[in-house]
Structure 1
């Protein structure tokens, strides 16, 4: 059992958590997509993944997001700017403007620390614990502190730090850019979920699944650059088939995780989207790419409800499919 944390040490952990909490949330889909991605070059034309649904009083635009983009190539597809210009309000997985950073950090620390006092080191293979040590040193987090963390939290912190070191940031991501524009233009933003709900996606995983997530993250971190390039290239090209292969392929081997992390949330978002359609103003909904793909993606679920999504392709709205 690791020694108790001194108050000064706990305050230090909280300060670091404050800096990393937003990154943790932004890293969730990227961690889930680590296994199996192949390298690909970025596409020349920025098509993106954007749909429009019309029914009732308002129009809803639905844009697929990469939560983090590299700062040196953070430009959004032009169609996203068009949809943003027409929308009077936005909806995202989280409304970060409405969340206190201090509260977010406190939530992270509370959930990250194992409530049963189990040792992370004792629950990991010795080789994985050794691989973890230089990563911890880079984060400035002492071994004694991390030993009290749950595996899911360590996996997300490692991924967040790796993205940051590679030049990625939430501020450069799709939501980050649109959120900054909305703040300047005084456009309201609705959140489809709360931070607590997003943390629970991982905090509620069985311990064995958490350990597996951490081990996969440790193995994949060094090769994440080509994988992120592949994902961004397919997104910019609007290549839905490629995106499904990249983002959903590995989930087919873990249908339980797919159900928990993706499909249940897709189904929960149908009602809010239908509610936005009843509003007299137009709404731009921005969610992670993964949620718009496949037979149980948000677009397919709306189609099953009798709506007729259109996709923005080659400069015009076209029926989809």
Structure 2
């Protein structure tokens, strides 16, 4: 029951990231590069504080750990794959939303995530039952229907489609790497911390190159959006996700994330006063039914 509750919390956090990013970029409150950088740095700072407090608390209970610094523990959690995939996801996600509509962007992202994780599940030697396949296809169908345009729209930008697909692949790989995590909080802190170091190195190199530094645009409102997204929805949310993903089947972890667009749409209804449409009700029902089939499938096997 605890795993279910924590999973729901993380899915809400994922949806919050989408809402905050769309809100900030659509209002032009901040540029995508600055949003990504602030998001990672604020997440790293928040996680470092939480990790330090957690280590100090455990050290009081186990005196043998007194000689082990937080930095040493973070080095032990270093995973280059996780860091690289996190950076690919963060920056691709923000830049893709400059041209893509919110609905189409979410569709490309979460379908890419699902197929990345299912492909990894398949190539690792696992096989999916007909019930699991049916649940996956049903959830994708519901998601496509939810994000299907109701009016004539322009042809989407191909570069933005590629960027959002990369973001989906990056997040899928990041999620899979979480299954090997020894400590969820320390792993997430290490990922954000080492990503921050890479960003500092990159920015330092750009400063040394004449006219290489891109123009930035940050308002107070945009900064607030990015900090909330980084510290709460990303830092704390991703740490919780690394905690629960080890307890979830790869297919279950994949299909559960297809509920994020539904949650994000519901957030738009509550926060932005968007109307509840019959399309939302039907698609949400179909997606949740697909998720239910995947959740029931392992029990049917037993």
Sort the TM-score into its range (normalised by shorter chain). Answer: under 0.3
As a proportion of its length, which structure holds more strand? 1
TM-score using structure 1 length? 0.24
TM-score using structure 2 length? 0.25
As a proportion of its length, which structure holds more helix? 2
